[in-house]
Structures are given as C-alpha cells and as structure tokens.
Structure 1
C-alpha cells in the first residue's frame, strides 16, 4: 500500500506503528500522530517507524456511488454497519498483513509493532487481532466497530489472544454509536477470546479524537512497546 511513511529519527529503527485512517480520509490525515508522539516523549519514540497507509479509491455504494478512499465498500447505512463488502474487507486485511511483513523484513520484531486505526481503519485494526500470523505488540481502535464477524470467526487464530487492545470511543458519536463499540468489545472478548481489551469512554466526544484520548493512547503504546 502507498501512503505516508515516516522513518525513525534515530537508527536503527526498533519499532513500528501502523495506523489506518477512516472513510474518505488519507494516511496524511493521521500523520500528525507521529509528531505528537515524538514530541510527547522523544526518548520513547525516537526509534519508531510510522506507517500511515492510503486506502484505495473505490465507489461507496451507501454514499451514492461516490468515489472516495475506503478500506471496504459500505453497501447500506444500517444501525450495525453489517452491510459491507466482505471481500473488500478481507482484501484490506491481506494488504495490512503485507505491510506488517515489510516491517518484519526490515528487522522489526513483530512484538514491537502496533496496529491502530480510526473508524473503518479501527474495524480493520481490531480484525487483525484474530487473523495476523504473528504475535504483535498491541492494537489501537479509535471509534471502532466490528465488521464481518462470521467470516472472522472462520479465519481466526489464537496468536494474539493476549495482545493488549485499547478501544477509545465517544459517548456522543453520531457516526459509529458507542453501542457498536461495545458490541465489538463483546465479540472480540466472548467469541474470539481476546483477554486484554480496554474500552475507554470519552464524555462528549463525537466521531473524532480529543486530547485525553491521545494521552491515553500514548500511555498504552508506551506500555505495549516496553513490555
């Protein structure tokens, strides 16, 4: 996948953060996260590669067939985000796996790789917890939801059942209601056996992020990469 790549300020790189944007956005839209983490704790993130992939441009059926960056097609807006293109979802999962493999081939240990995402990207990040063929360091989902649960159960493995997951969600999110975030937590814990799933609610937050969430995200990533 193409996108924004920011190499570690200090070489050799020892860890990688891969972050997946939401519907209609690009990797550059979340590029600020690299600068934020580097400024927040220069020592902790000086050996970190950052990868912000771009989703392909596809026609999104639920948006009147408009052409936009999307990790998978949304066939219809429904209350559970259940009507999505499952083939497109799994194709994006495969692309993420290849991106992780690229970092491993560069010498980054799998347990020093964090995968995160926002909204559509968060749905994919969560799915990697049951499909990746390596044990990674941690998973971040901001305003995330669960897609294609039936297919994920067919493909799931247990390599990342103990991998920490951080899921931040606003209680005023009009796009991905907090109820869908809680359903995702229930699915990954109860149906997939994920043992370390932290779900944090941010009062008044809509479909976005806030400084408090970014602070919690920073602490979570540092903990994952130092353990």
Structure 2
C-alpha cells in the first residue's frame, strides 16, 4: 500500500473509517480539511480518517512530468480511449488493501466509506464495481467514468461477484455545473452508466450552481449529511 496521511479519532477505540482519495497532482494532506470539518460534530469522534497518497508517476499528457496520480493520463481526451489499465487496476487494489486492513483491525465493512475528488473520484466509482466487500457508502466529488474505465471495471471477469456486491450501497455524487476540467455531463454520464447499465439502486446526484473544479460549502454540508445517513448517526 502507498503511504497515507491519517487523522486519528478523538476517542479510542475507533469504530468507523473514512478513506478519501485525492485528485491528480494533489496529496492526501490536501484533503485533511475534511477531517477537521467533520470532527466539529461529536458523532464523528470515533471515526478514523485515511488520506492515501498516490504514487508519483509520469503523466503522459503533461509531457511526462512526474506528479501524484492514481493512473496515467495518456492524452487530454474526454473518452480516454488510450487508458492506463495497469495503473488503474493497481490503484483499485491499493484501495482494496486499505479496506482489508481495517476489516482485519475489527472494523465492520458497513462502517467504512470510500470517497474521492476528480481522479480520486473516478477511482472511487470504479471501486463500486470492484470492491469485494459490501461497505457503508461511496462518494464522488467531480468524478467521471469514461470508456477506458468501463472496459477495466466491467470486462474484468475476475471481479464478477464484486460487480454485484455493492449494488444497493448508497453513492453520493457532487458536481459543479461550471467545472472546466471534468464537465458536469461526464458526471451525469457516470450516474447513467452505473444506474442504467450496472443497476445501482441508490445514486444521489447533486448539481452545484456556479461551482468550478472544486468543492463548495453546501456540497460539504450535503456530503456530511450523506455520511451521517449511511452510518445512522
């Protein structure tokens, strides 16, 4: 597993875990504000927060520049026809390893939520069809599923059982309608794909007016409410 930034629960022992995957070029540290935000509420006192760091890899579309990334971007093509299948599968396994570790630590799978932003959200959406354990929820902030990701997560016969494991697990998807990096239509395409073709039953899509490739206070509030609902807090 990659190294992760961890924010410990305020009380011991912890009994819930939130795993958050950052976007391209960012680090786990960049998302620790979410732990600070949630820990303002007492119901999150027994929650551990894990912010994995993606490996530094050359990003082909950025002239081979090395930066933190969950998978390579071969070209700035919204469909990503040239997709980094190997990198994506490796990162999916990395997330699975974090989940397995927490279950071995005695945390019920239903008390684990996975989420991410942008590229981390694209990885999270792949986890919905790849994870072998039924967890408490998933959240995607400015996420997408393109044709390359579909090929990886749907045509992977090894994970045939995993494709059905989380079909009724709640999914939260927040997206700004002014996003210049991941157009909101790509987010809507992900929702349509997962609900229509993959038959997910609980996909909650939120559109945020005038929001670019970022998160908004209302989105964080909605996300907080979603997490609390998943965990019956």
The gaps in structure 2 that reach 5 residues or longer are none
Q: Give the conservation status (yes or no) of the 8 Å contact 2:74–2:80.
A: no
- 1:48 corresponds to: 47
Task: Report what 2:68 is aligned to.
Answer: 69
Alpha-carbon shift at residue 12 of structure 1 (Å)? 1.2
Which residue number in structure 2 is paired with residue 103 of structure 1? 102
Deviations 1:78-136 (A, max 9, x none): 13344330110011000100011111111110000000000000001111111111100
Is the 2:6–2:50 contact (alpha carbons within 8 Å) kept by the matching residues of 1?
yes
- In 1, Cα distance between the equivalents of 2:132 and 2:144? 22
The alignment's C-alpha RMSD in Å is 1.1
Conservation of the 8 A alpha-carbon contact between 1:129 and 1:160? yes
Match of 1:224 in 2: 230
Q: After the TM superposition, which segments of 4 or more aligned residues of structure 1 sit over 4 Å from their partners?
A: none
- The answer to whether the Cα contact below 8 Å between 1:146 and 1:180 also exists between their aligned partners in 2 is yes
Q: Matched residue pairs, number?
A: 225
TM-score, normalised via structure 1 length: 0.96
Alignment partner, residue 3 of structure 2: 2
CA drift at 1:160: 0.1
Aligned match of 1:38: 39
> How far apart, CA to CA, are the structure 2 residues paired with 1:33 and 1:53?
14
Question: Which segment is superposed worse, 184-193 or 60-69?
Answer: 184-193
* Corresponding residue SS for 2:77: coil
Distance in 2, matches of 1:207 and 1:115, equals 20
- State the match for 1:196 in structure 2: 202
Show the counterpart of 1:167.
173
Q: Distance in 2 between matches of 1:36 and 1:122?
A: 19
In structure 2, how many angstroms separate the alpha carbons of the residues matched to 1:151 and 1:79?
16
Q: Deviations over 1:119-172 (max 9, x none)?
A: 000001111111111100000000000141022112352010000000000000
1:153 and 1:191 in contact (8 A); partners too:
no
Give me the whole-angstrom Cα distance separating, in 1, the residues matched to 2:79 and 2:62.
16
Choose from 164, 167, 183 the match for 1:158: 164
1:183 aligns with 2:189: yes
Structure 2 match to 1:121: 120
Q: TM-score, normalised by structure 2?
A: 0.94
Identify the residue that residue 205 of structure 1 maps to in structure 2: 211
